[in-house]
Structure 1
Amino acid sequence: MEKQGKSGHLVLVMVPFQGHITPMLQLATTLHSKGFSITIVHPELNSPNPSQHPEFTFVSIPDKLTKSQLSDKDAAGLMQSLNKNCKAPLQRCLEKILHSQGHIAAIIYDTLMFCAQAIADDLRLPAMTLRTSSATTLLLYYVFPELDERDFISKIESPGLQALQLQHFRALLSQNPTEAMVEFRATFMKAVMSSSAIIVNSVYFLEQEAISKVKKLFPAPIFTIGPLHKLAPTICSSLLTEDYKCISWLNKQAPESVIYVSFGSMASIDKQELTEAAWGLANSERPFLWVVRPGMVHGSEWIELFPNGFQESVGQRACIVPWTPQREVLAHAAVVDLEPLWLEFNRGEYL
């Protein structure tokens, strides 16, 4: 275990998915540069490579997640299982750190690893939570039980989220609010409401209205410290091999002409959803870069379930790759700078 830094020892608790690993490592790098010593506790799944971050101490805890859970569409159920499976090992881990070092200045946990809050309370340690996405998503959790359309929209609507988008999202939630979703939302909210502070990977001037609403609804102080990739731009933590041929393709496209589509590192779709997305992109008549992750489509290894005639119809207008260097793609001049597009596939896994 590394020596305690001059500013104290922080324990960061990570969620094992791409969009959560990278911001947490970026936050750790930023805090380490301010003099804190850092221990990162992480589930066994998608463990980070300690050799890439020798300045941190990494501790792995068992998560006991099965292949069927990881491939299931029930993201809320997956998060519940992750927290239930990790709670006891995480408590033992923190107790061991306390015993060996005598002090933990604070615990910072990903909002989706909410079991850490109850453990911190039990150990009488201050705990802050990191929201790796926008402040607006916290409002979605807050109003989730409120399915009256007018109230739902009025509590969230902001310049970044217009009423039409929220109408679609509300309809999506109300169609199938599973027991796992309701339980997940309740435990998530209980933890965030109990935290000592909320850290958001965002910029205040981009989300002023949403942040003002969060401050009124959540008792903990909120700190916007993003974008984290600007504070620690050298972090490399991709779980999949980045295909750089897409950058050469982008270099040949006109400025702000390319639609970039990615379902992330976790979501999965079926053949019908793949077909709908494929023809939607084809009919856009715009060049597009589409990330189709291996195994993302149920029943296929990669793109063998594309509809007949799709690839021929799009030709060189499309670049389809297993994974991209996302930071470089999003910063590329050829990629269209649009407000967030909501890809809605009749399930509520976007919370």
Structure 2
Amino acid sequence: MDVAIVGATGSCGRQVAAQLIERSLLPETATLHLVGHEGGAHESQLWGLRADLSDAFADRSPNIEVGTDVADSNADVIVMMAGATVTRETADRAALAQINRQIFTEVAESIGKMRRDVTVIVQSNPIELAISIFGQHVPRRQLIGAAAWSDSLRFERELASELGIRRPMVSAQCWGQHGDHLVPIWSRVSVRGVPEQRLADTIGAAREGRALADFPEEIIETRTRMLTLINQGDVSGAFSFIQECPPDLRAAVKPFFIHFSSATTKLATAHAVVDLLEFFARGRTVVIPGQVVLDGEFGGLRGPLAVPVLLDQRGWSQVIELPIENDERIALENSSRAVEVANESRAAQTCTEQRPAQQTGGRNAPYVVRGT
């Protein structure tokens, strides 16, 4: 399995490369392609990263190549990590669309020119926009977003913390949008080694007085208060505030805390991507939540959305329509509508704003991402 990382010199891209080699997922006969933007510091950094990886993992490193066009890589799996990330000025993932749409389009078109079928894993934001654009050039069953797996791992971790156990003992998933319309699937939560009554009591306490329909507003309100505390310099107060929230809300908001407390979410973001790469490399057949292009599944839903899918060696083979509660299904439908409206709005805005840019021939931002 040859792998290409687009946006390899960004902090998340570097982590994907390092974790991929550290887990020994690629044999020495395989090739890891580091892909960056042509020209300037980002292109030269590819060579430094290549040398650094070779020095660090000389005993188990695959062949490492660098380039500026992913179509030249001839990779089997392409990881999309390129694009701008959230900042204090663009704290909403939706605000990234204006910057990243053209980057997504250029990379997707380049992949579309490849003369072989490839599997594409996307972790850039807004991920639903990226999946929509890449879906125009990549067969839908060979395209998957890793953000839902990130969200689910965070949800599992927060539930494990609530129960005083380790994360591998918890099975929990988040579907829907990677953002304000995230849908924690409480009805599918299961835990090993914990009495059923204790789990039921824990879930009941976490959901008491709350409705899933209000979860998007909870996320926005909690994130706003947390960012206010950070901007006031009270980082410890922001952390304490988040820790007092229910586990599903912590899973949704804590990535913003990590990012805006200057750490960025590069480790967890990369970890989720490398998990998917491991599933493919090991040939494991697993069901995980991922952003995919739906075509009528889950009662007629269409377009990019996170749902459980069955992975195979080339991507995913089918959507797994697990039974869920009515409020969860309604939340999933609302999430799908929110994604559709957001993508349509971004497309209309971009068409209007790009006309003068096309006349002046301006260049786009470098293919580098610092966090997600």
The interval holding the TM-score normalised by the smaller chain is 0.3 to 0.5
**TM-score with structure 2 setting the length:** 0.31
Higher RCO (CA < 8 A, seq sep 6+):
2
Between structures 1 and 2, the one with greater helix share? 2
